[in-house]
Structure 1
């Protein structure tokens, strides 16, 4: 397996850091919104934190992985391999 470019790794880490920050902000926004309508209960807070945080992290993380795959050259390797098989 070829060595990944350091630039692609650094970009991926930076992107995941921003995604985690966005997820924390989304959790805070969701808890604030819920608090407008009824008092927050422990189970509701835990469920909201886990649900919102991991949903944002998973959805955005998958997009980040797709961008990482493209930037690191993995997509090109697959394209080249499949074109060689067809010949």
Structure 2
């Protein structure tokens, strides 16, 4: 009778760091305010121009500025969250000779 093969070890379950999540949401709240301020600056720029700006351009610019700031913020915040919860240490370095 052959021995049963050993199963792969199950990955350890890591409980997310609540402080990292709190920092993530704090960053997102502040950056939402910054994104709204950037939209306000863009609208003020349009208002001070010499020619009138079509409403479609105002809507597109407002959404574009807001979403651009929020996507950039979200991606960087997720990098900070990944670092803060310890997921970066779990990833194996393919060039490390010890593994």
Q: TM-score, normalised by structure 2?
A: 0.75
Count of matched residue positions in the alignment of Structure 1 and Structure 2: 85
Partners of 2:23 and 2:48 in 1: CA distance: 38
Unaligned runs of 5+ in 1: none
Residue 19 of structure 1 contacts residue 61 of structure 1 at CA under 8 Å; is this kept in 2? Answer: no
Structure 1 residue ranges, 4+ long, deviating more than 4 angstroms after superposition: 83-86
Deviation at 1:85, TM superposition (A): 9.0
Q: CA RMSD in A?
A: 1.9
- Quote the Cα distance in structure 2 between the aligned partners of 1:54 and 1:86: 43
Residue 5 of structure 1 corresponds to which residue in structure 2?
17
Q: Would you say the 8 A contact 1:23–1:53 is kept in 2? A: yes
Unaligned runs of 5+ in 2: 1-12
TM-score by length of 1: 0.85
Q: From the CA coordinates, give the structure whose radius of gyration is larger.
A: 2
